[in-house]
Structure 1
Amino acid sequence: MTLPSVDALKTQARRLRTALAAKGQVLSHSQALELLSAQYGYKDWNTACAAASAAGPALPFAVGDRVCGVYMRQAFSGDIRGLSRVGQSGHFRVTLQFDEPVDVVTFDSFSAHRSRVSCVIREDGIAVKKTSDGEPHLKMKRSG
């Protein structure tokens, strides 16, 4: 059984209290939290709360996903080769392998092609860092 978030557990406890109260059984909020914790296999609320907090949100992408989008204003398609959380920030470090190299230089006099890049993204696939004119380095989504 997947452990829900702390907020979802608290909401379940409130619903349990309301349902039991409708049947004449009075239960405190802490008693409801303890019952839910036991239902999910934890010895007490503190243990369940710590586990739910540590789990964090699900990753928005997965290694091997096909993605497409724009990197440094150049369209791309490719695969996710690496993905990891960046602390508790809600950001992710993603490593992409492009199908075709992307030229990241906008000058006509020279080129700099990239086949593999790493970038810190938000959950929505948009890079945290931006170019000097405010455009995110990367915008990506799942292909297909």
Structure 2
Amino acid sequence: MNPPFPTAQGAKDQAKRLRAKMTAKGQKIGHAKSLELIAHRYGFRDWNAMSAAIAAAPAPSWAPGDRVTGKYLSQPFRATVVDVALVRPGWVRVGLDLDEAIDVVAFDSFSNHRSRIRGTVGPKGHSAEHTSDGHPQLQLDF
């Protein structure tokens, strides 16, 4: 499974960090090579293909008033979209008013119910952040 899709700037920042890390280990590489390695990490044949995919990534299209279903911290919900804002190409921040409050704490001795949540989701409808068991923190169904 490929990691969450970055922005162009995010991928360039990753390439810069990779270059610095490899240089520190005595393996000097150029910027172009580090971009290629990052592209391969995300399953692309080269940087040009990844860059084109980033530019073409459509943003999910939800609007205030839309009804959605999904999971937040692995808890299923039904909700109304209250606001949407474009964060970067392909990624939107959504505010959701849940039909029923969900308990976002996994401990039996403590509860924290939320009826409103906000999160950023990408082209596949899920957040880049994951829970400790590997599931996206926020997942909206299409």
What is the TM-score when the length of structure 1 is the normalising length? 0.55
- Find the structure with the greater CA-based Rg: 1
Which residue is 2:113 aligned to?
Answer: 113
Tell me, yes or no, if the aligned pair for 2:59 and 2:123 is still in contact at 8 Å. Answer: no
Structure 1 pair 73/57, CA: closer, same or farther in 2 (3 Å)?
closer
Q: How many correspondences in the alignment?
A: 87
Which residue identity does 1:86 align to in structure 2? Answer: V
Tell me, yes or no, if the aligned pair for 1:69 and 1:77 is still in contact at 8 Å. Answer: yes
Q: Which runs of 4+ in 1 moved over 6 A?
A: none
* Aligned-partner Cα distance in 1 for 2:127–2:58: 18
Tell me, yes or no, if the aligned pair for 1:120 and 1:129 is still in contact at 8 Å. Answer: no
Which residue is 1:74 aligned to?
Answer: 75
Q: CA deviation at 1:81?
A: 0.5
* Aligned-partner Cα distance in 1 for 2:63–2:140: 13
Tell me, yes or no, if the aligned pair for 2:58 and 2:123 is still in contact at 8 Å. Answer: no
Identical columns (%): 43
Q: CA deviation at 1:133?
A: 2.2
5+ residue gaps, structure 2, are: 1-56
Which residue is 2:66 aligned to?
Answer: 65
Which residue identity does 1:126 align to in structure 2? Answer: H
